[in-house]
Amino acid sequence: MGVLGNGIYQLMFIAGLSRTRAGIAALVIAAGPAWIAIISRLFGRERLPGRGWAGILLQMFGMLCVVASAGLLEADSTALRGAGFIMVGSIVWALFTVMLQPYTARVHPLHLASLTLSSGAVLLFAIGWPSIRVLDFSTITPAAWGSVVYAGIGALVIAYLLFYRGVRTLGPTRTAMYGNLQPIIALLVAWVALNERPTLWQAAGGAIVMAGLLISRTARMQPAGPAPHVTSPDSAQRAA
């Protein structure tokens, strides 16, 4: 699972981010709860009522609007391919999240983070080693080292510990929904720091994704298994 969530996902994310805008990447990731809900249902973990599926359809439609806008930003298809990498990464992350849930109930978040980060790091190191071997480390600026430290400790270790606790307490779908303030923050930061002005399609797609998230958020998650049938006060007391 660590190879999935911290190896393959990171590779897809970096490959996509290098080909498209940060704001587009954030909006495509925003549809992650839809993939999680679909995969969770396929695995028999959770089920959504009609309102929840309506919200998921809105999220998917909004994501398609954002992906379509990526193809219009450049004359070639580089940005579109980048959005595609991000979308594949979101599906991989959704699979990782759903598969992780049973372990969050019986494994300490710190141990779980250590195992999954370590196994993902093995894959990343194996792929990155040819470039690391020829890198001139003297050319790396202090700001770049600071970014690496922040990404490694803040965005991975601390954020993952909070994420695992959320999955254990709230379930994978609700955890992902709460995490979707990220696209809004990323759009604003990309606008200020990278001068990435959102397009009309991005704004519309982002609004649709957020609307879908709100609709899904109001839907009550239910276990996929059948509800217990209570036939008498005694059985109700035993169930309680």
User: Has residue 193 been placed in a domain?
Assistant: yes
Altogether, the residues listed in the chain come to a count of 240
Closest by Cα among 17, 80, 28 to 59: 28
Q: What is the pTM of this model?
A: 0.68
User: Has residue 51 been placed in a domain?
Assistant: yes
pLDDT at 124: 92
User: Has residue 167 been placed in a domain?
Assistant: yes
> Which structural domain range is residue 191 located in?
2-133+140-222
Q: How many domains does the chain have?
A: 1
User: What are the CB-based long-range contacts (under 8 Å, 24+) for 101-108?
Assistant: 101/45, 101/167, 101/168, 101/171, 101/172, 103/1, 104/164, 104/165, 104/167, 104/168, 105/168
User: Has residue 240 been placed in a domain?
Assistant: no
Rg, Å, the chain Cα set = 20
User: Has residue 229 been placed in a domain?
Assistant: no
User: Which residue numbers in the chain have pLDDT < 70?
Assistant: 46-48, 67-77, 173, 176-181, 216-240
Cβ neighbours of residue 174 under 8 Å, at least 6 residues apart? 166, 217, 221
**Which residues sit opposite 223 in a β-bridge?**
46
User: Has residue 30 been placed in a domain?
Assistant: yes
pLDDT at 228: 39
Encode pLDDT of 44-91 as tens digits: 776 667 777 787 778 778 777 776 666 555 545 677 788 889 889 989
Signed CA dihedral, 125, 128, 133, 136: sign only: negative
User: Has residue 236 been placed in a domain?
Assistant: no
pLDDT at 125: 93
User: Has residue 232 been placed in a domain?
Assistant: no
Q: How many CA atoms lie within 13 A of 224 on its CB side?
A: 12
